[in-house]
Amino acid sequence: MFDPRLSVVEGDITRLAVDAIVNAANESLLGGGGVDGAIHAAAGPDLLEECRALGGCPTGEARITSGHRLSVKFVIHAVGPVWQGGTKNEDALLASCYVQSVKLAAQAGAASLAFPAISTGIYRFPPDRAAKIAIEATQAALADLPLPDRVIFCCFDHATAAIYRQLLGVDES
């Protein structure tokens, strides 16, 4: 499944040198824990004000803001589903987050995009299942778009990164 546009890194998404990062947001878009809290903290209070003006975002959708104090031009806020055993359309909602995020990045002219592992933290989506959906949905969205031409799956821990690397067929290097 090797795709030269896709790569995996382990680390802090707020420190990546990319045009846009995706925030694993909640429906309010007003910050939270995990990656959402880290992005809001790094971007500063103006991000919260811009998000407040958006009026929220339904699960399975995404919204775009500027990067504020981050080194990125854009933050794309994707609201993933809470895992409820796989019977509440969770797979389709998660896939939609990735597709919409790629499309928003392309519309904004972002050449590079980084995703966290959406919904795998406090939303409890099984990491292996989420990674497969993330990769397939991202590849499908990229198929008809010239940008972004580089997508990074930024994993907070080694175990999650290993799942992505295995699915993408890439080395640990």
> Is residue 71 a part of any domain in this protein?
yes
> Is residue 173 a part of any domain in this protein?
no
With 0.75 as the threshold, say if the pTM is over it: yes
CATH number for position 130? 3.40.220.10
Per-residue pLDDT of 119-156, as tens digits, reads 999 999 999 999 999 999 999 999 989 999 999 999 99
Neighbour-count burial of 30, counting CB atoms closer than 10 A to its CB (0-12 exposed, 13-18 middle, 19+ buried)? middle
> Is residue 12 a part of any domain in this protein?
yes
- Residue 25 belongs to what domain range? 6-168
> Is residue 93 a part of any domain in this protein?
yes
Instruction: Give the CB-side neighbour count of residue 109, counting CA atoms within 13 A.
Output: 2
* Overall number of domains in the chain: 1
> Is residue 1 a part of any domain in this protein?
no
DSSP assigned state of 82: P
> What pLDDT does residue 127 have?
98
> Is residue 137 a part of any domain in this protein?
yes
% residues pLDDT > 90 (the chain): 95
The residues carrying an active-site annotation are 36
Per-residue pLDDT of 64-77, as tens digits, reads 999 999 999 999 99
> What pLDDT does residue 170 have?
85
> Is residue 74 a part of any domain in this protein?
yes
